[in-house]
Amino acid sequence: MNIPIIYSSLLLLTLSNTPVIAHNIKTDGNVGVTFHIEPEHSPRAKESSQAWFVLTRQGGKIIPLSECDCQLKVYYQSSNSENKLVQTPPLLPLSPEQYQNIPGADLVFPHAGIYNLELTGKPLNGNNFEPFSVTYPVTVSPSLVQETETTIPENEGVSSTDASETISTSSPNNFPLPLTPTLLALGAILSLGGFWWFRNK
């Protein structure tokens, strides 16, 4: 038995089952900002997401929300690269992972596309750090619910006549044959004739 190979396989299996949490880190002045958005940096349109920011002053000390006059703005990036302000969500003190009372916000993106999250802040209560401004791009995927509704639309506004015209069957040559009343009657006559012939054979 090759112990090193088995140990390596178990290690790879363990690592493959360990969730990887991605963080984006930017600095401005003497403040570093670590950004993360749930779920797993893959938000979807019209679904709830949670963004949070770890503020770290030079030297490694974390700045809680209570010590920062922070503001978050969410911009939608249009096809011509112009930013349109879509929301200014309130920041709340969150405690994700090992952090405590850091700024975060609950977000619902209106539709798929590229957004920019701009976080600005300045010190409160005489705290010693410089005002900062950082921006993070976020790619929002289409909503799964929206895609399901799009691919399976309801027959709203379709009359009974229109609905009967959309129902079709296929011949052996794969040509669609509309189920018109005449064709249905002809099929019934042929079925009865075949039954009578088989019975009297």
Query: pLDDT tens digits, residue range 28-63?
Result: 999 999 999 999 899 999 999 999 999 999 889 999
Write down all domains in the chain, each with its CATH number in brackets. 21-146 (2.60.40.3340)
pLDDT band at 127 (very low <50, low <70, confident <90, very high): confident
Residues 6+ apart with CB under 8 A from 137: 77, 114, 115, 116
Can you give the pLDDT at residue 125?
Answer: 83
Q: Which residue has the higher pLDDT, 137 or 158?
A: 137
Whole-model pTM: value is 0.61
On the question of pLDDT at 14 being above 80, the answer is no
Can you give the pLDDT at residue 105?
Answer: 98
Can you give the pLDDT at residue 15?
Answer: 34
Can you give the pLDDT at residue 62?
Answer: 96
Amino acid symbol at 20: V
CB 48 within 8 A of CB 38: no
- What does the pLDDT look like over 99-125, one tens digit per residue? 999 999 999 999 999 999 999 999 998
Min mean pLDDT across 1-15, 67-81, 135-149, 183-197 is at 1-15
Can you give the pLDDT at residue 174?
Answer: 44
Q: How many CB atoms lie within 10 A of CB 66?
A: 11
Q: What average pLDDT does the segment 127-132 reach?
A: 90
Can you give the pLDDT at residue 67?
Answer: 95
pLDDT above 70 as % of the chain:
61
pLDDT band at 24 (very low <50, low <70, confident <90, very high): confident
Can you give the pLDDT at residue 37?
Answer: 96
Q: What average pLDDT does the segment 78-85 reach?
A: 88
Instruction: Return d(Cα 45, Cα 59) in angstroms, integer.
Output: 38
Share of the chain residues as helix, strand and coil, in percent rounded to the nearest 5: 25, 40, 35
Tokens 């609905």 locate to: 163
On the question of pLDDT at 146 being above 60, the answer is no
